[in-house]
Homo-oligomer: A and B are copies of this chain.
Amino acid sequence: MQRSRPAPPSLPSRPTRTDARRNYDSLVAAADELFGERGTDVPLDDVVRRAGLGSGTLYRHFSSRDALMAAVFWGRIEALCKEADRLLLADSPVEGIVTWLRSLIGLTMRRGLAAALAADNKDGGSELFRYCRQALDTAATPLLRRAKEDGAFHPDLEVSDLITFTHAIAVAAERAPDSEEHADRLLRMLLDGLRTRDKPTARL
């Protein structure tokens, strides 16, 4: 049950040499800051400049913008996957997965992460993002299965589709002033159905 999760295919590992590791960390820290301030499409040159390094150093450690993004976000994604494991022990299967979906939205909303992960669907997406998606899918699978076994979710629902919808919520709520509440409202509607339940009083 404690099987370790493998690292992404090409996630650059932290170097061992002291100066190299310091540079690596500076780059990740600078990128984290700038991604937050100005979005994940900030010029890499600015990341390099804030880290006080040469541009070649960035490419030594990160083969692409995606690799840098993965290094910045991977820690948080991993934490989210661990949370999924913990939530398997929740009293209510439904509460377990809903709590997790809220956490997912909390991570992806802002920062443009949701849009990046959602857009990654297309074949052109990078290997690293596909790996992030897959890690989230894998983590959520037992949560969803448990909820299905409880009869609480549509049997045809696939994890990847559930997460895709969740990304849509994050993207949509991102612009709203009360993004938290807006996201919650959308999540509730998504789970309960945009159509009202068939009640005796409603026709059809």
Query: Which residue numbers of A lie inside 8 Å of B, CB to CB?
Result: 39, 92, 94, 112, 115, 118-119, 121-124, 150-157, 160-162, 164-165, 167-168, 171-172, 174-175, 185-186, 189-199, 201-204
Contact = CB atoms under 8 A, between A and B. Distances in A.
Given A122-B174, A164-B172, A204-B94, A192 B193 contact: yes
Nearest to A196: B154
Contact of A168 (B157, B164, B174, B202): B164
13 contacts: A115-B118, A115-B122, A118-B118, A121-B172, A123-B175, A150-B202, A152-B196, A161-B172, A165-B190, A190-B190, A191-B195, A193-B193, A197-B197
Contacts of A192: 154, 193, 195
Contacts of A185: 156
A175 B122 contact: yes
Contact of A202 (B152, B175, B194, B196): B152
A175 B119 contact: no
Nearest to A118: B171
A82 B96 CA distance: 44
Given A152-B202, A202-B151, A194 B190 contact: yes
A57 to B, nearest CB: 28
Contact of A157 (B115, B189, B201): B189
A203 B150 contact: yes
Nearest to A201: B151
A150 B192 CA distance: 18
A191 to B, nearest CB: 5
A196 B152 CA distance: 6
Contacts of A121: 171-172, 174-175
A34 to B, nearest CB: 15
A112 B123 CA distance: 11
